[in-house]
C-alpha cells in the first residue's frame, strides 16, 4: 500500500499508543522484589561455565544540572564529594562481583552511562577504568564506550577517556536550537559541540555517536531541519534520534515542560518524516527504532548478518554476552535472568557498604519469555522473522504458538506496515517507525492488562 501523507497521518494517529521500548523482555516493570541478591548470587555461580563472554556496564548517576526532559536515574549536584564517596562504593561492588565470577572470561564490551560519566574528573576516569581492567580480562578489540555531556567537559576529560582505552563516545546533543535548549534547561551552543567534537576526533576517536531528541518544546520542522543539517555536517558515525517520552506521572520534573509548548501531533509526524528523509539523503542507514549509522558501521553489517541484539543500552552487536552492571539502578543480565540494583542512591550505597550485593529486584525468565523475546528481537533488529527457522530453533509450530499475535498483526498487515505470509513476517518500509507496535503483538504481558500494569510512553 502506498502511504500518502494523509494515510500516513491516519496510521500514526491509529498506532500512537503506550508501549515498551523492548530493551528487555519481560520489561523492567515486571521484575520482582522477591528476586534479590541471593538468587542472583546463585545465578552468577551457576553460569560461569556457560561459555558466554562478558559485557560490563557502569552507571555514574551525577549531573551538574537537570535537563527537564530527563528520563534517566540521575542526581543533579555540584558537590563532587558525593562522586568520591560513590566511587569508593563502586570499587567495592566491582570487587565483590569479581570475587564471585570467573574473571578469566573475556570482556567484549564496556559501557559507561548515566547520569553523566564525564561528571567524573579525568583522574577518576582513569582510576575507575584501571580498577575494572585490573579485575577483568578485557579483550584487545573490546568495544569500550562512554556517554559524554559537552557542557563542563575539558580536553583533559577526552584525553583521560582515550588513555583509559575508550574507543567509542556518545555525545548528548538533543537539539541545536537556542529556544529549545533554554526550554529544557540544557544550553550548549553549536560552537561548544563543534569544539568538543573536534577534541574527540583529534584524540583519535574513530566512532562517535550523537544523540538527538524529537518532541521537545518549541521544536518545529524548520528548526529541527536546521539542527539535522548542522549535525550531518559534522559527520558523526552514528546518530540516535530519540522521541521525547513525556511521562510527568513518573518523572515529576517533566512538569517543568509545559504541555502547550510541546509540538502537536501533526508536527511530530512531520518530524518523523523529516528525520527519515534527511538522514537517508545524507547517507545514513536506518538500523531500527531511533538509530542510524554510516554504511560502513558494524551496526549496519550486524543488521545484514542478523547478529544485532537489543539490551539496556539499545542496539548491540554483542548478543551472547552476560552483562554485569555496576552502580545505582544498574541492570545486569544472564541468558535467563535480569536483575536491577537499588534505584535509590542511599539504599545502593548502604547495601554495598554492608558487604552485600545491591540487587533489589529481578526476574528469571520462562521458556515462553525466551521465545517471545526472540520473536521481538527479530522484529526490532532484523525487521523480519523466518517462521520455519524460528519454529525449528524452538521446537514449535510458529503459527500455532503465536496464533494470538498473528491475529493482532492482521490489522497492521492490512495497513501495509507488515507483510505476513506462510513463510515469514516482514516489516515494510512504512512499517519501520511502527516497530514497537509490531513487536507488541508478541508481548504476553500486554495481553492481560491490570490496574498495576506499567504506563509506558507512547510509541509515536
- Residues near ligand SF4, by CB under 6 A: 63, 66-67, 70, 72, 74, 114-116, 149, 172
Query: Closer CB to ligand SF4, residue 327 or residue 362?
Result: 327
Q: What angle do CA 163, 139, 309 make, to 5 degrees?
A: 105
Query: Closer CB to ligand SF4, residue 59 or residue 372?
Result: 59
CB of 329 to ligand SF4, least distance (A): 12
SS3 state at 250: coil
CB of 330 to ligand SF4, least distance (A): 14
Query: Closer CB to ligand SF4, residue 97 or residue 227?
Result: 227
- Name the residue among 328, 320, 280, 316 with its Cα closest to residue 432: 280
Query: Closer CB to ligand SF4, residue 67 or residue 383?
Result: 67
CB of 274 to ligand SF4, least distance (A): 23
SS3 state at 459: coil
- Dihedrals phi, psi of 101, to nearest 5 degrees: -95, 170
Query: Closer CB to ligand SF4, residue 72 or residue 225?
Result: 72
Other CB atoms within a 10 A radius of the CB of residue 68 amount to 17
Query: Closer CB to ligand SF4, residue 242 or residue 442?
Result: 242
Q: What is the DSSP string of 334-393?
A: -SSEEEEE-SSHHHHHHHHHTTS--EEEEEEPPHHHHHHHHHHHIIIIISEEEHHHHHHH
CB of 233 to ligand SF4, least distance (A): 24
- Name the residue among 140, 124, 152, 104 with its Cα closest to residue 58: 124
Query: Closer CB to ligand SF4, residue 254 or residue 349?
Result: 254
Contacts of residue 259, defined as CB under 8 A and 6 or more positions apart, other chains included, come to 246
Place of cell 517507525: 433
Query: Closer CB to ligand SF4, residue 236 or residue 431?
Result: 236
Contacts of residue 189, defined as CB under 8 A and 6 or more positions apart, other chains included, come to 178
- Dihedrals phi, psi of 234, to nearest 5 degrees: -80, -15
Q: What angle do CA 355, 360, 362 make, to 5 degrees?
A: 125
CB of 362 to ligand SF4, least distance (A): 24
Inter-residue contact 175 to 225 (CB < 8 Å) = no
Q: How far apart are CA 231 and CA 145, in angstroms?
A: 20
CB of 403 to ligand SF4, least distance (A): 42
Q: How far apart are CA 350 and CA 93, in angstroms?
A: 11
Question: Strand pairing partners for 18?
Answer: 458
Other CB atoms within a 10 A radius of the CB of residue 40 amount to 24
CB of 64 to ligand SF4, least distance (A): 8
CB of 254 to ligand SF4, least distance (A): 11
- Name the residue among 316, 321, 341, 313 with its Cα closest to residue 101: 321
Query: Closer CB to ligand SF4, residue 186 or residue 372?
Result: 186
CB of 275 to ligand SF4, least distance (A): 20
Query: Closer CB to ligand SF4, residue 72 or residue 356?
Result: 72
CB of 194 to ligand SF4, least distance (A): 19
CB-neighbour burial class of residue 287 (10 A; exposed 0-12, middle 13-18, buried 19+): buried
Question: Strand pairing partners for 145?
Answer: 111, 168
Query: Closer CB to ligand SF4, residue 74 or residue 89?
Result: 74
- Dihedrals phi, psi of 241, to nearest 5 degrees: -115, 90
Query: Closer CB to ligand SF4, residue 174 or residue 332?
Result: 174
CB of 67 to ligand SF4, least distance (A): 3
CB of 151 to ligand SF4, least distance (A): 8
Q: Strand 137-148 vs strand 314-316: parallel, antiparallel, or unpaired?
A: unpaired
Amino acid at each position: 500500500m502506498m502511504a500518502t501523507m494523509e494515510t500516513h497521518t491516519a496510521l500514526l494517529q491509529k498506532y500512537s499508543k503506550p508501549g515498551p521500548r523492548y530493551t528487555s523482555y519481560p520489561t523492567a516493570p515486571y521484575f520482582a522484589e522477591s528476586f534479590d541478591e541471593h538468587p542472583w548470587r546463585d545465578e552468577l555461580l551457576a553460569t560461569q561455565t556457560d561459555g558466554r563472554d562478558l559485557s560490563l556496564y557502569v552507571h555514574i548517576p551525577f549531573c551538574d544540572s537537570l535537563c527537564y526532559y530527563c528520563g534517566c536515574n540521575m542526581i543533579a549536584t555540584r558537590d563532587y564529594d558525593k562522586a568520591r564517596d560513590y566511587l569508593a562504593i563502586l570499587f567495592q561492588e566491582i570487587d565483590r562481583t569479581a570475587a564471585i565470577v570467573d574473571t578469566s572470561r573475556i570482556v567484549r564490551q564496556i559501557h559507561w552511562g548515566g547520569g553523566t560519566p564525564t561528571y567524573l574528573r579525568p583522574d577518576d576516569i582513569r582510576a575507575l577504568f584501571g580498577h575494572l581492567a585490573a579485575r577483568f580480562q578485557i579483550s584487545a578489540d573490546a568495544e569500550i564506550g562512554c556517554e559524554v555531556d559537552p557542557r563542563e567537559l575539558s580536553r583533559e576529560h577526552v584525553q583521560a577517556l582515550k588513555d583509559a582505552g575508550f574507543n567509542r563516545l556518545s555525545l548528548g546533543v538533543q537539539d541545536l536550537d537556542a529556544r529549545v535548549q533554554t526550554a529544557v534547561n540544557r544550553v550548549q551552543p553549536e560552537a561548544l559541540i563543534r569544539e568538543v567534537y573536534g577534541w574527540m576526533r583529534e584524540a583519535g576517536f574513530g566512532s562517535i555517536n550523537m544523540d538527538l531528541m524529537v518532541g521537545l518544546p518549541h521544536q518545529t520542522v524548520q528548526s529541527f531541519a536546521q539542527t539535522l543539517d548542522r549535525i550531518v555536517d559534522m559527520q558523526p558515525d552514528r546518530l540516535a534520534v530519540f522521541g521525547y517520552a513525556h511521562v510527568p506521572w513518573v518523572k515529576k520534573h517533566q512538569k517543568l515542560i509545559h504541555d502547550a509548548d510541546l509540538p502537536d501531533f501533526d508536527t511530530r509526524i512531520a518530524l518523523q518524516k523529516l528525520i527519515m528523509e534527511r538522514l537517508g539523503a545524507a547517507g545514513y542507514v536506518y538500523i531500527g527504532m531511533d538509530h542510524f549509522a554510516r554504511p560502513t558501521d558494524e551496526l549496519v553489517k550486524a543488521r545484514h548478518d542478523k547478529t544485532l541484539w537489543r539490551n539496556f543500552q539499545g542496539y548491540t552487536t554483542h548478543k551472547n554476552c552476560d552483562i554485569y552492571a555496576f552502580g545505582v539502578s544498574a541492570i545486569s543480565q544472564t541468558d535467563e535472568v535480569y536483575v536491577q540494583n537499588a534505584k535509590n542512591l542511599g539504599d545502593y550505597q548502604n547495601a554495598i557498604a554492608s558487604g552485600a550485593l545491591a540487587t533489589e529486584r529481578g526476574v528469571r525468565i520462562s521458556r515462553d519469555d525466551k521465545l517471545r523475546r526472540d520473536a521481538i528481537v527479530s522484529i526490532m533488529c532484523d525487521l523480519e522473522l523466518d517462521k520455519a527457522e524460528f519454529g525449528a530453533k524452538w521446537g514449535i509450530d510458529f503459527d500455532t504458538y503465536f496464533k494470538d499475535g498473528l491475529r493482532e498483526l492482521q490489522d497492521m498487515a492490512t495497513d501495509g506496515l507488515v507483510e505476513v505470509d506462510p513463510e515469514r513476517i516482514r516489516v515494510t518500509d512504512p512499517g519501520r517507525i511502527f516497530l514497537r507496535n509490531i513487536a507488541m503483538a508478541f508481548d504476553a504481558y500486554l495481553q492481560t492488562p491490570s490496574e498495576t500494569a506499567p504506563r509506558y510512553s507512547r510509541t509515536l
